[in-house]
Amino acid sequence: MENFNNVNHIIDDLKEEMLNDLSDLIKIPSVGDEPIGSCPFGSEVQKVFESFLEIGKRDGFDICNVDNYGGHIEFKGESEDIFALLCHVDVVPAGSGWDQDPFTATVKDGKLYGRGAIDDKGPTVAAYYAMKALKRAGFKPKKNIRLIIGLDEETNWDGIKYYLKKEKTPCMGFAPDADFPVIHCEKGLIVFDLIKKIEKAENLNEHRVELVSLKGGNAPNMVADRVLASIENADLTNIVNSYVERTGHTVQCEKTKTGCVIKVAGVSAHGAMPEKGVNAITVFCELVKDVEFSNDRINDFIKFYNEKIGFNFHGENFGIDFEDAPSGKLNFNVGMLSIDEDNIKLTINIRYPATMTEDDIYAGMEKTVTGYEVVKIDHLAPLYVAKDHELVKVLMEVYREFTGDNETEPLVIGGATYARTIPNCVAFGPVFPGEASVEHQPNEFICIESMIKSTKMYAEAIYRLCK
């Protein structure tokens, strides 16, 4: 196309329509849920999926639904090759601490707020409108351009796996689900549970303080931002007040007829960057470190947690304090903890260096977790695409031309994107250097000006890679 400015003007003209579509998608609380009928990821995820496919149909694109496990919106090209825009429309739970309804799509001070605004509904809409603007401008792509819609990116990736078994694998693509300029390396990801049976009757001691139940966290890939613990035969108000005064953490103790309820409020963050949050589970375990509970297995667990995990973010005391030159240090996040009359279950999310393997991680922690059942939940191998790869070079050129930033180099992240699922694929935006990373956090937002800019960059990148 000789005059690409025409595409940019089209994107400017489509701004209000783009924001309206995004707002409609954010208003659907598409948190993954148990299967219901023909909806493998729950009714709300199905609703947002169908709504987005309808947008593609409205604008004259070909659409495809692969058994409700995922699908695509396609801009037909001249060859059989497929260029993928790998996106997702499911979101993590809203969590606490919002200043507005997370599913209202509030616009304020040039930002659109809502769960999914930056991860990943906003970038998905940006990539879609890049494709739409190119189509409206008369672009005739050589490759078929497919915006692939994932439905459980925030959980187990079963949808994208199913989709790729049924559909032809794209030859190249990018995922608008991370940072600019380009993510050429993603650390490996492991999720597992540590489980210990309580066997209440066999492990009682002379102490009467009973931890009846505890629930903490919302998802493995989020820093736990809440704990609710029910305690019998003790009022821990003085311990809580002293701890709050000493540390500044947010903890409440509510007295009941027979004991108390402790509520801890942490700060949520993405599990790949646990240092950006405050883990409520860690706060609770530190708070009660000197409390003698009636069950020795709970006491042993509290001691284990404080000694082996605590406020560390890199597995320092867990036997897995690994790092390498390409990708840096391992990231260690505790996502959830539950304690009931039968079990203690701790869910851990690890992002490990790109030159290591899953076996390295489990071998490293083997001695540390003696006495616990290790239940493997998920694993994603690392992604590495060389900086001199054609895809990386083109995307870097686009980034530099639009931003004037000639200093920032391709990045490494602990986050996991769909770029891992196909060959010759990396993450590209949407967060610009210097912008806040607010995914998985309360008051998540997308800067509207940045969204329009990234849409233009996506259009330019698609054009160069598909012409």
Q: Hey, which residues are catalytic here?
A: 90, 153
What is the bridge-based pairing of β-strands 425-427 and 172-175?
parallel
Q: How far is CA 77 from CA 64, 138, 467, in A?
A: 16, 12, 9
- Bridge partners (DSSP) listed for residue 65: 71
Burial 257-293 (b: 16+ CB within 10 A, else e): eebbbbbbbbbbbbbbbbebbbbbbbbbbbbbeebeb
Round to whole Å and give the CA distance between 293 and 91: 37
Residues 6+ apart with CB under 8 A from 247: 283, 286
Question: What residue type is 102 in one-letter code?
Answer: P
Round to whole Å and give the CA distance between 137 and 152: 33
Helix (H) or strand (E) holding 393: helix 390-403
**Burial (CB count <10 Å: 0-12, 13-18, 19+), residue 306:** middle
- Bridge partners (DSSP) listed for residue 352: 188
Q: Is 248 helix (H, G, I), strand (E, B) or coil?
A: coil
CA nearest neighbour of 116 among 16, 211, 200, 32: 32
